[in-house]
Chains A and B, each alone.
Chain A
């Protein structure tokens, strides 16, 4: 070990191999985050089934009633059980961002790999194009989409995906260029393997740690942005129990002294986003080793 490494107290942990190994290498915080994510995913798929009470049936007589009996979190402004709505709402709250991530990562990876593979003029064109596309913040594009196509989750998700793609492509392009320059690529080319073949079977898999790290962090961003858009009434529409919608619906309860419904939805969002952020950051740290 050289003097510089010792003096810089480089964290000497063996890098993990394989999926579980990498996960373990992210440390206790990373594992806890992964746990939270698993729970949220579970709720996303089975939330509606797990909900103890009907999440959509209103009963104004019970409006704003606090936690009582089996209703751990009380009732919202329309007399619906908050906990049930949270569980049911996990579906749109989790699947929306998933769609955004899948779309943006796919498009971004494609652009990055094409730019890195062709290099030269194609790369310059794509890079300049990406620089230019940076002009649209996600939420703005989603609002525009809502104005044009009407409010709804699909339009918002696609708009966000379009807005995120340039960022993904920028981040991945660097790594793709590095991979492209590796000797094994030249060796494969000489052997006559086709360009798409090399890209799909070697280039992209070697970039997978970075892609996964980026996707993880991006999930957090997408969740925040989509919840915001639903909060604005331009995404998921009430009476869907999406968490962003819940905050918007129950905001009026706060000045009246009933913060729990809005707050609990907010906490759900924050907890899940923190988990994705922490895990994503840890995964990024692993990439550089």
Chain B
């Protein structure tokens, strides 16, 4: 049963990636003008360069053949050449990917520890802790990352000087210091959402009848909470945490820009601004793949946690 579920999810994964990659590729043709002008970002090129482009992208071949060549290239790590920097896109990606990965990982850790932690705490108690959490998360959930960024920069970098405002820093400690404010900015609204959903899930599960059964049998409180409330709440908690972490992948472009970090997201935005389509396509493909993979992991975790899942997605 689990095997069938995994197989089905893998098929969906591949289908998703195919469709996404197709959309990314087809952007070349969706652009006004012909593909060459799209690739060159509207710049005029010497005939020799144009010929190179034509050959590289197999622009004289049928559409799907081009798509195949591009996809094949991508699978082998070849994403073409940046028209603005005249370097291999793959090299440009590789040099920036760790910043992005580090930032997303840092933010994810914050979300898991503080988001879930806060949610469990306020879900199990009533009174001040609970009301306070509700209020704080209501506001935080609405704070977009870039707004959080400017507030954090203002308070912690400019006024208090605890953390640097911009840039990447060097060395492990330097990197961590530079990534802290961005990670917090990235995590804040997601953290609030995870906390709220966790709280609601814990509340709901604590009110379930099977918990009453455990009470009626004299199961001690700690054990009851662990085995019957938290264990059951783990299902929606994992789902929302996974979804929010996946969303970080897109949001990090905004944060990297706000903090002038040298990551994939910031580079994506710059390339979009300068219409360097090959780079945009390459980075988009990497990010979408990461997004889909995270979602797949969430689905698998869900199946492991909830034995009622045999077929179908967690949408049910």
Give residues in A with beta carbon < 8 Å to B. Answer: 4, 8, 127-128, 131-140, 143-144, 146-151, 170, 220, 224, 227-228, 231-234, 244, 247-248, 251, 254-255, 257, 259, 262-263, 266, 269-270, 273-274, 277-278
Contacts and interface: CB of A to CB of B under 8 A. Distances in A.
B105 interface: no
Return the 9 tightest CB-CB contacts between A and B, nearest first.
Answer: A137-B250, A266-B147, A273-B142, A147-B272, A135-B16, A274-B142, A147-B280, A139-B250, A224-B144
A147 B271 contact: yes
Nearest to A250: B150
Interface in B146-191: 146-147, 150-151, 153-154, 157-158, 165, 189
Contacts of A144: 23-24, 27, 272, 280, 284
B38 A143 contact: no
A78 B143 CA distance: 26
Given A137-B249, A232-B254, A149 B31 contact: yes
A166 to B, nearest CB: 10
A135 B288 contact: yes
Contacts of B189: 224
Nearest to A262: B150
A132 B16 contact: yes
Contact of A147 (B250, B257, B277): B277
A234 B271 CA distance: 11
20 contacts: A127-B315, A128-B15, A131-B12, A135-B292, A135-B295, A136-B291, A138-B250, A139-B250, A139-B254, A140-B288, A148-B31, A149-B30, A149-B31, A228-B254, A255-B158, A257-B158, A259-B150, A263-B151, A270-B143, A278-B138
A228 B313 contact: no
A233 B257 CA distance: 10
B19 interface: yes
Nearest to A273: B142
B20 interface: yes
A135 B17 contact: yes
A134 B293 CA distance: 12
A128 B16 CA distance: 10
B253 interface: yes
Nearest to A234: B272
A136 B288 contact: yes
A147 B275 contact: yes
A268 B290 CA distance: 33
Interface of B: 12, 15-17, 19-20, 23-24, 27, 30-32, 38, 138-139, 141-147, 150-151, 153-154, 157-158, 165, 189, 207, 209, 246-247, 249-251, 253-254, 257-258, 268-269, 271-273, 275-277, 280, 284, 287-288, 291-292, 295, 313, 315
A269 B147 contact: yes
A258 to B, nearest CB: 10
Contacts of B157: 255
B305 to A, nearest CB: 20
Most buried by A among B20, B31, B157, B246: B20
Interface centre among A232, A254, A255, A277 (most CB of B within 10 A): A232
Nearest to B23: A136
Contacts of B254: 139, 228, 231-232
Nearest to A163: B250
Nearest to A129: B19
Contact of B16 (A134, A147, A224): A134
Nearest to A251: B150
Contacts of A262: 150
Contact of B145 (A137, A147, A170, A228): A228
A18 to B, nearest CB: 27
Contacts of B151: 263, 266
A183 B68 CA distance: 50
B295 to A, nearest CB: 7
Contacts of B17: 135
A228 B16 contact: no
A31 B256 CA distance: 37
Given A139-B250, A263-B154, A247 B288 contact: no
- Which of A128, A147, A231 has most chain B Cβ within 10 Å? A147
A131 B315 contact: yes
Given A136-B23, A273-B142, A146 B272 contact: yes
